[in-house]
Structure 1
């Protein structure tokens, strides 16, 4: 398997050589395969000066296909097994409109591959600690975004991003070691809660959303909603009272102030708060100019530890499903 940097660079180069220009990029997937693209979307939203960025769930992309989609578009899609029907159809639609397509999957020779101009087979394992986090699905999204920006507009901190990727596994493993005891405390404190609100901002909002829909709702059957720290004060804070359960993924960088404001309010009014602070857990080992773009990937990796502890405390394995893959839907 090629190094993610080399592979991403070659893929973007080949796509740019095959068409006059890329003016738009769409990140498309379902559930965790979509939220895994959030770090890439956030990075381009912040850094791209001309490139337009879309972030769309697969079935909406199929049924409400953007009019701008065409030969100047790149569509990056992901499906774990490469057979998610909505995502396969989204890839087919993208190609029919003349767009370039890149498919990310764990399963080679899958239906998604048939509709992808370029394919990335990423690393995955049931036990995430056995796989370099810089070679997982979400990281590949960020690698592709970095190369697309560099090869179209240029990016002043390109080398710093590459360096951060090289350091990332070490930073993640140290962070995971640091949270082992805290994860056990969290599991005991939250195992009987009927609802848990996820919060985050900036680069980590995607991780909060993923935790809400893919872990708490899907894998633990705990009612949940994801609330952006900046939107908390525009409606959601009204549910805050003594003991209301929150998990807040505090990022490092420009939106940290949004998290700080929410933390102060939750504590003032007695909310039950589990804070996972990227700064305190080691993200600052990465270069200052780019470290915030890794917060989402970092938080997702740390949550692996908390999720395992919670599932064990609740005697509810993360593999348990009621409907998924079992009934017609």
Structure 2
């Protein structure tokens, strides 16, 4: 595979799935101590990656859960951030300015902060009440963060008696590193063609529904815009027909990401419409890629990680094709803003 280190990838994702027990112990202790709620926060793309866990708890648990951006909470505050609140806070570098500042606010309110970081010896690694450390880089962090936040959400439901197959799901997810590698190998022969589609247009509508909507949003904003300087319009499939459809005409590129479960129906509406008006439709569908050792329920929960790992292969070809390394920036962390 192009520019890919298999051993490195497996080590990072194995580190992610190994955090299940540590996260379960932290969440269980917090709920036993009377935690009133849980926050999944972050800055920029890291905040987006937490949202599937938020939606899972909103749909399947009665425990109060909140998501959002640290910068917004720093600016406006939250009446729900209080004594005993449990905060899950990812930052790959452990140095993200807004997230570091938020730890101080959280502690002032009596909240308990769990940081998800790539390095222990960083402000978030040192200052959080608990630091879950799993080294990763930009090309591997999405899967790692998706999995760790999923473990935290499943643990909440376990300790509240809202799920009866926690142990089975966590056991299945231990197979994930191997299955992600299988996905990469399966998509590699098609990755260059997908990259040609992306390189061939000045802008793209990037669409998804359910938990994979967040990967669509993340990929459009953090990879295509930040790392490739390609304009995108990320849009949830449920909102596509409330404005964005009017942008579609002959030649307009629509990249549709399809996950698993009931929200596929929202994506399928977009899939049916775009060709009718001459749009150029490209589909990435997790159902096209079988796995071993993962139930339908586990696959649905892990669909954002599936897409992240598939898209990394496309990005590897895209940066070579466009002679634009994914590490190239003009402004991000290079100028004051």
When the two structures are superposed, what TM-score results if normalisation uses the length of structure 2?
Answer: 0.90
For 2:296, what is the secondary structure of its paired residue? coil
Number of the residue aligned with 1:8: 23
Q: Does residue 1:172 correspond to 2:180, yes or no?
A: yes
Query: Which of 79, 90, 95 does residue 91 from structure 2 map onto?
Result: 79
Number of the residue aligned with 1:46: 59
For 1:226, what is the secondary structure of its paired residue? strand
Query: In 2 relative to 1, CA 101–126 (structure 1 residues): closer, same or farther, beyond 3 Å?
Result: closer
User: Quick check: 2:83–2:111 contact (8 Å CA) kept in 1?
Assistant: yes
User: Quick check: 1:31–1:213 contact (8 Å CA) kept in 2?
Assistant: no
Task: Report how many residues are paired.
Answer: 322
Deviations 1:246-281 (A, max 9, x none): 111101101011111110001222211221101112
Query: Which of 27, 32, 43 does residue 45 from structure 2 map onto?
Result: 32
Number of the residue aligned with 2:322: 314
Number of the residue aligned with 2:270: 262
Tell me the distance in 2 between the aligned counterparts of 1:232 and 1:277: 18
Detail structure 1 runs of 4+ shifted over 4 Å in the superposition: none
Number of the residue aligned with 1:198: 206
User: Quick check: 1:216–1:224 contact (8 Å CA) kept in 2?
Assistant: yes
Number of the residue aligned with 2:303: 295
Tell me the distance in 1 between the aligned counterparts of 2:201 and 2:23: 42
Q: How does 1:63-142 map to 2 (within 5 A)?
A: 63-125=75-137, 128=140, 136-142=144-150
C-alpha RMSD of matched pairs (Å): 2.0
User: Quick check: 2:260–2:287 contact (8 Å CA) kept in 1?
Assistant: yes
For 1:328, what is the secondary structure of its paired residue? coil
Query: Which of 198, 211, 232 does residue 219 from structure 2 map onto?
Result: 211
For 1:219, what is the secondary structure of its paired residue? coil
Query: In 2 relative to 1, CA 270–181 (structure 1 residues): closer, same or farther, beyond 3 Å?
Result: farther
Deviates more, 1:235-244 or 1:159-168: 159-168
Tell me the distance in 2 between the aligned counterparts of 1:190 and 1:28: 30
Tell me the distance in 2 between the aligned counterparts of 1:160 and 1:102: 24
Q: How does 1:207-246 map to 2 (within 5 A)?
A: 207-246=215-254
For 2:100, what is the secondary structure of its paired residue? helix
List alignment gaps of at least 5 residues for structure 1.
none
Tell me the distance in 1 between the aligned counterparts of 2:291 and 2:36: 32
User: Quick check: 1:123–1:137 contact (8 Å CA) kept in 2?
Assistant: no
Alpha-carbon shift at residue 303 of structure 1 (Å): 0.7
Number of the residue aligned with 1:156: 164
User: Quick check: 1:31–1:210 contact (8 Å CA) kept in 2?
Assistant: no
List alignment gaps of at least 5 residues for structure 2.
1-14
For 1:179, what is the secondary structure of its paired residue? helix
For 2:288, what is the secondary structure of its paired residue? coil
User: Quick check: 2:179–2:292 contact (8 Å CA) kept in 1?
Assistant: no
Alpha-carbon shift at residue 85 of structure 1 (Å): 1.1
Query: In 2 relative to 1, CA 212–284 (structure 1 residues): closer, same or farther, beyond 3 Å?
Result: farther
User: Quick check: 1:197–1:226 contact (8 Å CA) kept in 2?
Assistant: yes
